[in-house]
């Protein structure tokens, strides 16, 4: 399907409604399958036993790479733009990428990695990260990419959870002016990960690192003699493709599992229709491959469609806040996909950083990860898009695999702050407090999805109960997204943010429980309650209310200790912005913290704290109102 007009969108949406299975079967038919599926779809939200294209045999990398060799083998698959603009940059054609993936697939197999084994990837945003992931997919190993900003402890937790057999990492990386010693962090993590037998280290910074003989090997040594021929391992459509950890409202991060066939069909279909990338276009998604956006819209979606993409190692403000626009000009980028937090950060600098560059190549702008405020939307539209580029505000989640609600570029009329309309094949609905669907327009509720789609996560690794509980139990027979949403009088959807205890900080998803657990490790901390509050650049900031054993003498030093602690346990992205020490927390008689009240205080909305009569001790609210954050 390649939708070209709004009328066509309406028509195809209707068709997808009338016969969902036929719609998805048609999409699946555009790929190369070694053997066709036996059943288009089975299972559902009730039991969480969802399957698509079962019995179909394929290897996803044959669709991402091999299939293109005869037609666009010499086309650029990736342009690699390093952290520093003067460092070595390179382009990789589809043929070269295929060769690199084949070689590395042979390396992995020689190291004893087999179909179904888990391989953890903890790397800089370089071509080797992508080659690693694709090589895993080629041999049927399950990749688990961990964002290279997470701490040793977070890395260890993820490796342990999925019993990874191998870790692929770099000696280190540079992000902006910072150096991150990935190998040192890996070494520390691996002390508690006995399942990892081999570590492959790809050179990036040439700094001194420790070496464990028999376990550690250099990427460049292994790849040197590896054959460039590799026969991809045959997979069933429902075999696992990757695990990606994401935060939930409770407990530890969960390993969201995606499978081969459905994920392939869904990422390809959404990429093609949302972005409308043409043959000669240059597409750039600024995400890191450590997040789902990178998986679906740097690696898989674009490769299935034979697009040219950019792998960007850097940050928006290094060496200066014109960096992104410099890259757009340099490669004549046509499609640019980023997060609102980046836009808001760049908005705060002088306009000259944007105006200095020729951005006339741009055709489509994308936004992802959090609600985009109208001010940022207009700045993006005016100053980056020159008023001529449609903005696709794409709503989706790690669990959905791909974009769910979004304008199709140049097809769907846009509206600032709105993700607009669902893609054909996707049926959103808003639910009221009684668990009933809300009909009509001009309404708000909790966002659910009716009917499974091919890209939906199939389970939480090792904990199917948690999968059922998190997504399928709040509303029987529906997938619950965790988001609140408004449907305006035109039927357009506007995502208003999480309704559960999940924060969205600079487009990164963090669970309040995770941060609380980390802070509670401090010897002076008795109990913590984390809430989000509106933050100009991050979207949401992290506000910690805490009960301390004794009042810290030097609050600044105490805050620094807490920051170091969180950085060590989770990573720097989870550092609280504000800390308020309080004698008590507002709890109900059953001992539940009433975060509603804390959210109001954190947002400085003191008039509207609301009813406090059900609290065990309503006087704690006065203490909190009198208190101060630093």
Torsion of CA 462, 466, 467, 471, to 10 degrees: -170
| 293 scored as a contact of ligand WT7 (CB under 6 A) | yes
Q: Which uninterrupted H or E stretch holds 42?
A: strand 39-42
Q: Which range binds ligand WT7 by CB under 6 A, 25-33, 309-317, 387-395, 622-630?
A: 387-395
Binding flags for ligand WT7, 406-435, as an x/- string (CB under 6 A): -------------x----------------
Q: Which two tokens stand for residue 512?
A: 């309040």
Quick check: 481 binds ligand WT7 (CB under 6 A)? yes
Under 8 Å between Cβ of 579 and 547: no
Residues 558-577 that bind ligand WT7 (CB under 6 A): none
Contact 51, 63 (CB under 8 A): no
Contact between residue 72 and residue 92 where contact means Cβ atoms under 8 Å apart: no
Does 132 contact ligand WT7 by CB under 6 A?
no
Q: How far is the CB of 427 from ligand WT7 (least distance, A)?
A: 17
**CB 136 → ligand WT7: shortest distance, Å?**
21
Does 470 participate in binding ligand WT7 (rule CB under 6 A)?
Answer: no
| Nearest Cα residue to 454 out of 23, 142, 18 | 23
For residue 253, state whether it binds ligand WT7 (rule: CB under 6 A): no
Q: Contact 424/447 with Cβ under 8 angstroms? A: no
Q: Is 495 in the site for ligand WT7 (CB under 6 A)?
A: yes
Count of CB atoms within 10 A of residue 207's CB? 12
Q: What span, in angstroms and rounded, lies between the C-alpha atoms of 587 and 594?
A: 6
> Is residue 446 involved in binding ligand WT7 (CB under 6 A)?
no
For position 147 contacting ligand WT7 by CB under 6 A, the verdict is: no
Give yes or no for residue 275 binding ligand WT7 (CB under 6 A).
Answer: no
- Determine which residue in the list 398, 420, 506, 540 makes contact with ligand WT7, applying CB under 6 A: 398
Residue number closest to ligand WT7, CB atom: 398
User: Minimum distance from CB of 595 to ligand WT7 (Å)?
Assistant: 17
Q: How far is the CB of 243 from ligand WT7 (least distance, A)?
A: 14
The stretch near ligand WT7 (CB under 6 A) out of 29-37, 184-192, 368-376, 451-459 is: 368-376
| Tally of CA atoms within 13 A in the half-sphere of 423 that contains its CB | 32
Using the rule CB under 6 A, is 338 a contact of ligand WT7?
A: no
DSSP readout, 195-254? T--EEEEE-SS-------TTTEEEHHHHHHT--S--PPPPEETTSEEEEEEE--SSSS-E
DSSP string, 125-145: SSHHHHHHHHHHHHHT-EEEE
Of these, 149, 240, 321, 369, which contacts ligand WT7 (CB under 6 A)? 369
Nearest to 154 by CA among 576, 569, 575: 569
Tokens of 431: 């639910």
Instruction: Find the shortest distance in angstroms from Cβ 235 to ligand WT7.
Output: 25
CA angle 601, 603, 604 (to 5 degrees): 60
| Residue 482 in contact with ligand WT7, rule: CB under 6 A | yes
* 459 near ligand WT7 (CB under 6 A): no
Q: Which among 109, 178, 118, 181 is positioned nearest to 152, based on CA atoms?
A: 181
Contacting range for ligand WT7; rule: CB under 6 A; set: 166-174, 194-202, 391-399, 594-602: 391-399
Burial label for 523, CB within 10 Å (0-12, 13-18, 19+), is exposed
397 binds ligand WT7 (CB under 6 A): yes
In the complex, minimum distance from the CB of residue 289 to ligand WT7, in angstroms, rounded to a whole number: 13
Q: Does 498 bind ligand WT7 (CB under 6 A)?
A: yes
**Pairing mode of beta strands 178-180, 173-175:** antiparallel
Q: Which stretch binds ligand WT7 (CB under 6 A): 27-35, 89-97, 321-329, 390-398?
A: 390-398
Using rule CB under 6 A, residue 394 touches ligand WT7: yes
Instruction: By CB under 6 A, tell whether 371 contacts ligand WT7.
Output: yes
Binding site for ligand WT7 (CB under 6 A): 246, 292-293, 367-371, 393-398, 419, 481-483, 495, 497-498, 504, 509
């Amino acid at each position: 399907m390649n939708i070209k007009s709004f009328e066509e969108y309406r028509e195809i949406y209707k068709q997808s409604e009338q016969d969902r299975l036929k719609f998805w079967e048609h999409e699946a038919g555009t790929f190369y399958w070694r053997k066709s599926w036996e059943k288009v779809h089975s299972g559902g939200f009730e039991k969480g036993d969802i399957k698509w294209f079962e019995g179909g045999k394929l290897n996803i990398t044959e669709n991402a790479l091999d299939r293109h060799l005869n037609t666009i083998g010499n086309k650029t698959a990736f342009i690699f733009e390093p952290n520093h603009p003067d460092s070595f940059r390179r382009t990789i054609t589809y043929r070269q990428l295929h060769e690199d993936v084949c070689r590395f697939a042979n390396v992995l197999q020689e190291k004893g990695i087999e179909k179904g084994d888990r391989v953890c990837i903890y790397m800089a945003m370089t071509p080797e990260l992508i080659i690693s992931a694709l090589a895993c997919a080629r041999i049927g190993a399950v990749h688990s990419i961990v964002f290279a900003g997470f701490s040793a402890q977070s890395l260890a937790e993820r490796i342990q959870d999925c019993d990874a057999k191998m870790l692929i990492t770099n000696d280190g990386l540079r992000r902006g002016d910072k150096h991150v010693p990935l190998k040192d962090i890996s070494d520390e993590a691996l002390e508690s990960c006995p399942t990892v037998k081999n570590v492959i280290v790809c050179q990036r910074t040439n700094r001194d690192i420790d070496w464990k003989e028999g376990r550690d090997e250099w990427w460049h040594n292994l790849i040197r003699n590896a054959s460039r021929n590799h026969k991809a391992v045959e997979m069933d459509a429902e075999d696992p493709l990757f695990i990606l950890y994401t935060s939930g409202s409770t407990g530890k991060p969960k390993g969201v599992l995606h499978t081969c066939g459905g994920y392939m069909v869904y990422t390809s279909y959404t990429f093609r229709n949302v972005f409308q990338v043409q043959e000669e276009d240059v597409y750039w998604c600024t995400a890191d491959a450590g997040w789902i956006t990178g998986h679906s819209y740097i690696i898989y979606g674009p490769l299935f469609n034979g697009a040219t993409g950019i792998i960007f190692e850097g940050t928006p403000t290094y060496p200066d806040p014109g960096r992104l626009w410099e890259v757009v000009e340099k490669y004549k980028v046509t499609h640019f996909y980023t997060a609102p937090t980046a836009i808001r950060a760049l908005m705060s600098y002088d306009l000259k950083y944007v105006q200095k560059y020729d951005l006339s190549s741009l055709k489509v702008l994308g936004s992802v990860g959090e609600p985009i405020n109208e001010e940022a939307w207009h700045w993006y539209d005016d100053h980056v898009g020159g008023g001529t580029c449609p903005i696709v505000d794409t709503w989706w989640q790690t669990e959905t695999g791909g974009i769910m609600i979004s304008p199709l570029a140049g097809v769907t009329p846009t509206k600032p702050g709105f993700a607009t309309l669902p893609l054909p094949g996707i049926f959103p609905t808003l639910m009221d407090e009684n668990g009933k669907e809300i009909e009509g327009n001009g309404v708000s509720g909790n966002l659910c999805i009716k009917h499974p789609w091919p890209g939906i996560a199939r389970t939480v690794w090792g904990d199917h109960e948690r999968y059922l509980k998190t997504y399928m139990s709040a509303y029987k027979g529906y997938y619950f997204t965790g988001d609140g949403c408004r449907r305006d009088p035109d039927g357009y959807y506007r995502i208003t943010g999480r309704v559960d205890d999940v924060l969205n900080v600079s487009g990164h998803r963090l669970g309040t429980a995770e941060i609380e657990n980390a802070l509670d490790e401090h010897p002076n901390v008795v109990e913590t309650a984390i809430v989000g509050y509106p933050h100009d650049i991050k979207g949401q900031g992290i506000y910690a209310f805490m009960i301390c054993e004794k009042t810290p003498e030097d609050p600044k030093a105490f805050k620094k200790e807490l920051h170091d602690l969180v950085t060590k346990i989770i990573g720097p992205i989870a550092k609280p912005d504000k800390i308020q020490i309080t004698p008590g927390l507002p709890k109900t008689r059953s001992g539940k913290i009433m975060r509603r009240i804390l959210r109001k205080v954190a947002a400085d909305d003191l008039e509207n704290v609301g009813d406090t009569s059900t609290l065990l001790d309503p006087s704690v609210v006065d203490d909190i109102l009198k208190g101060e954050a630093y």
